[in-house]
Amino acid sequence: MLITAVTLLFTAATLRVAAQAVSVNPQHHFPKTVPPGNYSGITWLGGERYAVADDKSPTAGFRLMTITLDSLSGAVTSVVADSFMTAGQPNRDEEGICFVPYMNTVFVSGEADGKIVEYDLKGMPTGRRLAVPAVFATARKNGGFEALTYGTVSHRFWTTSENTLVADGPVPTIANKVSNRLRLQSFADDLLPRQQYWYVTDSSEVAGTSGSSFLGVCGLAALDDGRLVVLEREARNTTNYIGSFVHIKLYIVDPARHRQGDMLQKQLLAEFRTTFSVTSRSFANYEGICAGPRLKDGRQVLLLVADSQNQYKGFLHDWFRTVVIDVPTAEPAVPFLTDAEVLDAVGFLPEPPAPGSSEFQSDAYYYQWGKEQRADSAVARMAAADEVWPLADVFSEALGMEISAAGTPEIFRLMEGVRMDARRLNNAAKRHYKRMRPHEYYREPSLVNTADGWYLGSYSYPSGHSIRGWVSALTLSMLAPEAAERLMARGRQFAINRVICGRHWKSDTDAALMEASALMTRLTANDAFRRQLEKAKAEYAGRKNK
C-alpha cells in the first residue's frame, strides 16, 4: 500500500514489547549494498539467502538477497542485494512471497491481478498458481493480497487480503473506528483451497478524525508448530505530516485450535512504532515478514523488511529489522525400529517383471489403463494431488479429523515414525532392483510432468509412496478401528494413483503392499511403537469427544 508523500524527516522508533520471551532488535539500513526499492515481501531460502518482492519493480519477479544475522541476538548485521530474477513480464504489483523447499520454487502474490503465481528461482513462471476462491475478486484496490507464507511442516500456504473485501463490509478509517474483517485462507500442496477462518484486526487508535490512516494485514509468517504470526500495520498521515507514524503489531494465531469458519483468537507478541520528526529518518513502513533461522539457543528469528517507496526523495531508507521469539521446538519424530530390526525386503520380494514376460504384459496393460483414467478430471486431480500431498493430508478425511503436527502431535508423530521405517525398508530394495519408471520406459510425460525432473535417477520397484500409504492406513486402522474401511480404501486408492500418474508399474504397488504387511509384524512387536500408539489413541479419543 502506498503512503502519502512525506516531506519532513522522522523520529526514532519507540518500542513496546508484549512479553519477555520476545526481543525486538534495532532496525538497520544498508545503502551501499541495497539499491532503493519498494520491498514489500520476504521469504527465507535457507542459510543466509532470501528472496524479496518489490511491488514497483520494472518487471515481474523478485530480488535475491544475502542477509547475515548475529548468531546470538539475531540482529541484522549486513544485507547485500544480489540479482533481480525476472522473465521480463509486466509488473503485477508483487507484494507477498513464499518459498516452497520441496519444489525449490517461490510463489508471489500480485495485488493488481489478484493471483498467486509460482516461479522457479530464476524468475521464470512455471505456469502454476494457487486456486484462489472467487470471493477474493472483491478485494479493493491496494487492499488485496499483500500477505503470503508457506509452512514447511504443515505443508500449507496461507494468505489474506490486506483490507476487508467488498463482500464482507466497510474498510476501517480514522473516522469510523471499525476493524478489518478478513478471510484467512489456506491452500494445500495441490494448490487447491483448504481451511478458511475469520480474522479481525484492531481498529484505528488515532484520536480525532482528521488526516488519513491505512490499517490492515500486510504480512504472515508460518511457524514450524503450525501457528501463524500476523503483521498488522496502521500508517497514519497527518495534515502537515508532523506526528505521522507507522504502528506495527505482531499477533500470533493457532488455526489448529479452531474449526473452519471460526473467528481466530489472537495473542499480541510485540508492537513498535516509528514516527515523524525533523531530526530523524527512522520512519519505516514494514510490509514483509518471514520466519528465518533459529539462533544457537533455539529461538526463532522473524525478519521484517520495510517499503521505502524507492527511498522517497532521499528521505526514507530500506529498513530491515528482526524480532526474536521463543517458539518451543516440537519433539521430533523418530523411526521405531533399529537398523538391525529393519527387514531386508530383497529377501522376500519377487524380482520385478522382466520386459517380454507375461507379468510385464500385465504391467503394460495397467500403464495404459492408468493413462485412460486421466480423462476423468476428478480422478486426475486426485492422483496428481497424491503425488505431493503429505500423508497427514491424505488420511485426514478418512480418519475423520485433521492430522497435523500442531493439532494432533501424537498422531502425527506416530505416522512420521512408521513413514521413516517404511522409507528405510523400501529404499534398500529400490537400490537393489534399480527398475526404470514406466513413464521413463515409454519416454512419455507423467500426469504430473512438471515433477518429472525430480525423479530422474530414482527407481520404481517397489513403490515408496505405496508402502508409506499402506503402512499409514494399517497404523491408523489400529488407532481408529471404526474408520478402518475408509482408511484402507484410501490406502488402496493412494497406491492406484501411482499407476494413474504413470510414476509406477502395478507390480511396484503390489510389492509395496507385501513390504507394508511384513513391516507391520515388526512394528506391532516393538515397544516404542506400542507406546506411541497408546499416546495417539488417547489424543484421538480426546479430540473426537470435543
CB 318 within 8 A of CB 72: no
CB 324 within 8 A of CB 74: yes
How far apart, in whole angstroms, are the C-alpha atoms of residue 468 and residue 437? 18
Task: Catalytic residue, from 93, 307, 393, 508: name it.
Answer: 508
CB 386 within 8 A of CB 494: yes
Cell numbers at 418, concatenated: 512408521
Q: Could you write out the DSSP letters of every residue in 219-246? A: EEEE-TTS-EEEEEEEEEE-TTSTT-EE
How far apart, in whole angstroms, are the C-alpha atoms of residue 370 and residue 368? 5
118-128 burial: b if 16+ Cβ within 10 Å, else e: bbeeebbbeee
494-530 burial: b if 16+ Cβ within 10 Å, else e: bbbbbbbbbbbbbbbbbbbbbbbebbbebbeebeebe
CB 41 within 8 A of CB 96: yes
Q: Is 508 a catalytic residue?
A: yes
How far apart, in whole angstroms, are the C-alpha atoms of residue 324 and residue 326? 7
Q: Could you write out the DSSP letters of every residue in 355-400? A: TTSHHHHHHHHHHHHHHHHTTSHHHHHHHHHHHH--HHHHHHHHHT
Q: Is 504 a catalytic residue?
A: yes
DSSP element (H, E) containing 475: helix 464-479
How far apart, in whole angstroms, are the C-alpha atoms of residue 191 and residue 275? 40
| Residue 349: partners with Cβ closer than 8 Å, 6 or more residues away | 429, 462, 511, 514, 515
Q: Radius of gyration (Cα) for the chain, nearest Å? A: 26
CB 287 within 8 A of CB 147: no
What is the residue type of 335?
Answer: P
Strand partners, 39: 54
Cell numbers at 18, concatenated: 508484549
Task: Catalytic residue, from 465, 486, 490, 503: name it.
Answer: 465
Task: Catalytic residue, from 233, 236, 498, 503: name it.
Answer: 498
How far apart, in whole angstroms, are the C-alpha atoms of residue 392 and residue 405? 9
Task: Catalytic residue, from 63, 156, 281, 504: name it.
Answer: 504
Q: Is 465 a catalytic residue?
A: yes
CB 144 within 8 A of CB 114: yes
How far apart, in whole angstroms, are the C-alpha atoms of residue 29 and residue 65? 13
Q: Please identify which residue in the block is written with the cell numbers 511457524.
A: 223
CB 399 within 8 A of CB 476: yes
Question: What are the Cα distances from residue 415, in Å, to 25, 291, 332, 412, 421?
Answer: 39, 26, 12, 5, 10
Q: Is 258 a catalytic residue?
A: no
Question: SS3 breakdown of the chain: % helix, strand, coil, rounded to 5?
Answer: 30, 30, 40
Catalytic residues: 465, 498, 504, 508
